[in-house]
Structure 1
Amino acid sequence: MGAHLAVVIALLLASADATHQEAVGDLLVALEKAADFFEREFRHINLDGVVGFQILNVEVKEALRRWPHTDLGNIHQIARVKQLVNRLNSIIAQAVVTLQESDPTYYRAFEPILRADFWTVPHMWNTSNPALVYPAFREVECFDEKLSDKCMTLLLGTWKDNGTPCIVTNSCRTFMTRLRCPDYSLSHQLLYFMFGAMKGCHNILQGESRESRANPTDHDYKRIFCSNMMKRNIEFENNGFPIQTRDIFIENIMLCGMAGFSDFYKSSWLRHILTWQDSDGGCFKKDEKESPHGLDRNLLGTTNSHKRVNRREKILKDGCSSHMTAVAVSMLGGYMNFYQMEQDITKRPLT
């Protein structure tokens, strides 16, 4: 009986490993195509787009560190990943120089997030909590692009030359902790708290008080935001992934994955997203003209939901979206790092 059970367990582990290898193989193909696109178009990709490839770079390096080097079957994959990292390092360096020349004001404001050492990847995992879902979202975005950019630069210390970082104004705190915000407002609220954590700011919630309940922590807010981003993603999935929702769907996975919420890395979602990549160009496209009429209000609040993205969005030749490609590649890098971390944990000897 014991021998039979051991055989069954071995077969299950082998099957899981084969599925893992297949997923990682698909990710590598997708990321190599995306790197081809980046190499061709880096002179035309905006700052937000380059940041996406830098996040990818950080996540792939971390995945490579965890890659099981003792498995001979992984040698070819490891060589491909090392080549991908080398390519990304080279292209990012060229892209940053181009940005510095083409958009110096925005470059100065957000230069820290272009650096690899700004970004951290999760080493512990949480999950979203359905109990934290809002009863209803606000009907319009809470988003104010100018205020959001100002709040981000105050955290980064780039609001002026040699500016003090980790400055949190009352208006920033109020905006970034407002509840029931939908979609891009919600994702930028989470991003603000992520910036604060990566910059080492511990004062975001100082001075905040809410009546009738305990004051939430930074982590509490991240969990509230990601729980509601999960709700939105499930709604998008249940509606068949309408084209005009795919950008925010991917952005939610990318951000909450980086914030350490492992339940966003669903294999079924990955299979759908990989089919959205342009097989020839390697980019991800927005084509809202193809979306069913009337879904915008139901699934994305109002057209104002695209306000932030439109300002810094850049549609490249063949309809490639700089923003959607950026969030997609950084999200795919998150999947790869998550899979390697899971693989690393399951292959450690029991103590």
Structure 2
Amino acid sequence: MRADTRRRLAAALALFAAALCGSRAEVIDDVLGSVSRGVSFLERQHEHINLDGAVGFVMLQAELKEAVRTWPHTDPLSWAQRTTAVALLKRLDQSLEKAVAALQENDPKYYWEFEPLLSWTFWMVPQEWRATDPSLVYSSTLTTECYDEQLSDKCLTLLLGTWKMNGTPCIVTRPCRDTMTRFGCPHYSLSHQLLYFMIGKMRGCSDLLKGDTRASRANMTEQNYQRIFCSNMMKTNQDIIRDGLTEQTLDIFIENILICGLAGFSDFLKADWLQHILRLQDEEVGCFGRDKSIISQIIGDELLEQLQPHRRVKRREKILPDGCSSHMTAVAVGALGGYLNFYLAEQDITKRPLT
């Protein structure tokens, strides 16, 4: 009787494992299909993508290269999916080369300031996973952003060494340090505080907190800040889901998934959040955040922009002629790359979340 029970249990476990693998394979198929449509969009719109848009696709490029490199050779279906990813990567490489060349021509100053971010080798893909901590959520949060895009850009160029020709990298001014370590910031200020620390690490800056003499921050590390920021970004996303996704909250919701996922926080890569992202994709053109009602208005704006060739392209957002959001498309495809690597890493016990 006991032997029979063991056989039944083993059979049930085998069926469960097969179902789990089948389910994971289906999700990977969905992700690859969505990424393929996103790459098709880039192939058509590479001349119009702004800097943020290009960076999002470069993050995807880094994620895809890592996925192809580490893809588990477990069965013919998995290997067929890898073949699909390899073909996708080839298309992405070609389209990004054109997009980056267009950026360099259309906005050379801005291009040179952020040129390091436009190489896939800059971006580090997580090799292990961790989780956020609800106890680190702020007791109160500011209702307005802590700083503007100009300050964020300045602090990032000081890290990158692109603040002038042959500039010294890893410069941390007191205003930058104080701003990027300020607690209670919401939304994009919060996500860019995290991005600041991530970019510093990837640039090889060894001590972003040097010179911080505040007693209350004496034992804080860069890892501590990353966990605090992502724990609060998790709370933001949970609140957004609780209140219902809106046009105003979609972009920051996906950006938080992208950046904290890239920082290695696996609890952002939730299956139901993935479905939200997949549903946002426009089936016709492959972008995310498309507003068909303003296409005619945007076409008019694009014509005006062509008559003003020296007008600076705003980094954070650009609505393209087909009504697509450059920024939302960028963060969405980047997030999808994160999901792909996470699902592949789940098959490797050494990369499962740390408890």
Q: TM-score, normalised by structure 1?
A: 0.90
Distance 2:65 2:283 in 1: 25
Cα distance in 2 between the residues matched to 1:125 and 1:320: 33
The Cα shift of 1:139 comes to 1.7
The separation in 1 between residues aligned to 2:187 and 2:79, in whole angstroms, is 41
- Cα 1:187–1:25 change in 2 (3 A) is same
Query: 1:124 Cα deviation (Å)?
Result: 1.0
Q: Offset of 1:311 from its aligned partner? A: 4.9
Q: One-letter code of the match for 1:168?
A: V
- Greater alpha carbon shift after TM alignment, 255-264 vs 45-54: 45-54
**RMSD (Å), alpha carbons:** 2.0
What does residue 117 of structure 2 align with?
113
One-letter code aligned to 1:135? S
Q: Mapping of 1:16-165 within 5 angstroms? A: 16-165=20-169
Cα offset, 1:324, TM superposition: 0.5
TM-fit CA distance, 1:51: 1.0
CA contact (8 A) 1:67 1:344 kept: no
Tell which deviates more after alignment, 317-326 or 250-259. 317-326
Which of 249, 256, 263 aligns to 1:259? It is: 263
Q: Per-residue displacement from partner, 1:44-103 (whole Å, max 9, x unpaired)?
A: 001111111111011011112222224112233122111000001111111111111111
Q: Distance in 2 between matches of 1:119 and 1:16?
A: 30
Tell me which moved more, 55-64 or 105-114: 55-64
The alpha-carbon deviation at position 211 of structure 1 amounts to 3.2
> What percent identity do the matched residue pairs reach?
56
Q: Does 1:285 align with 2:283?
A: no
Of 316, 322, 325, the residue aligned with 1:321 is 325
Determine if contact 1:243/1:286 at 8 Å carries over to the other structure: no
Which amino acid is the alignment partner of residue 259 of structure 2?
Answer: L
Counterpart residue number, 2:297? none
Q: How many residues align?
A: 330
- Aligned partner of 1:258: which letter? L
Amino acid at match of 2:343: Y
Q: Distance in 2 between matches of 1:30 and 1:226?
A: 26
Letter in 2 for 1:150: K
Partners of 1:224 and 1:319 in 2: CA distance = 36
Contact 1:190/1:225, CA 8 A, preserved across alignment: yes
Deviation at 1:318, TM superposition (A): 2.4
Mapped to 2, the partners of 1:122 and 1:328 lie a distance apart of 18
Residue 245 (structure 1) aligns with = 249
In the aligned structure 2, how far is the partner of 1:9 from the partner of 1:112?
48
Contact 2:35 2:333 in 1 (8 A): yes
The CA distance in 1 between the partners of 2:315 and 2:110, in whole Å, is 12
Task: Compute the displacement of 1:2 (Å).
Answer: 2.2
Pick from 174, 178, 193 the counterpart of residue 189 of structure 1.
193
Matched residue, 2:227: 223
Q: Return the letter of the residue paired with 1:155.
A: L
1:66 and 1:344 in contact (8 A); partners too: no
Q: SS where residue 346 of structure 2 aligns? A: helix
Residue 347 of structure 1 deviates from its aligned partner by 11
Residues 292-324 of structure 1 deviation map (CA, whole Å, 9 limit, x = unaligned): xxxxxxxxxxxxxxxxx9653110122100100
Matches of 2:63 and 2:235, distance apart in 1? 25
Q: Deviations over 1:4-45 (max 9, x none)?
A: 221121111111111101110100110110011000000000
The 3 A distance-change label for structure 1 pair 110 and 86 is same
- The equivalent residue for 1:340 is 344
Is it true that 1:167 corresponds to 2:167 in the alignment? no
Structure 1 residue corresponding to 2:208, chosen from 191, 194, 204 = 204
Aligned equivalents of 2:32, 2:193: Cα separation in 1: 31
| Map of 1:15 onto structure 2 | 19
- Code of the aligned partner of 1:33: R
Mapped contact 2:113–2:162 kept (Cα < 8 A): yes
Q: Does the 8 Å contact 1:186/1:229 carry over to 2? A: yes
Give the whole-Å Cα distance in 1 for the aligned partners of 2:349 and 2:28. Answer: 16
Please state how far the C-alpha of 1:289 moved relative to its aligned partner: 9.1
Gaps of 5+ in 1: 291-308
**Structure 2 alignment gaps of length 5 or more:** 295-312
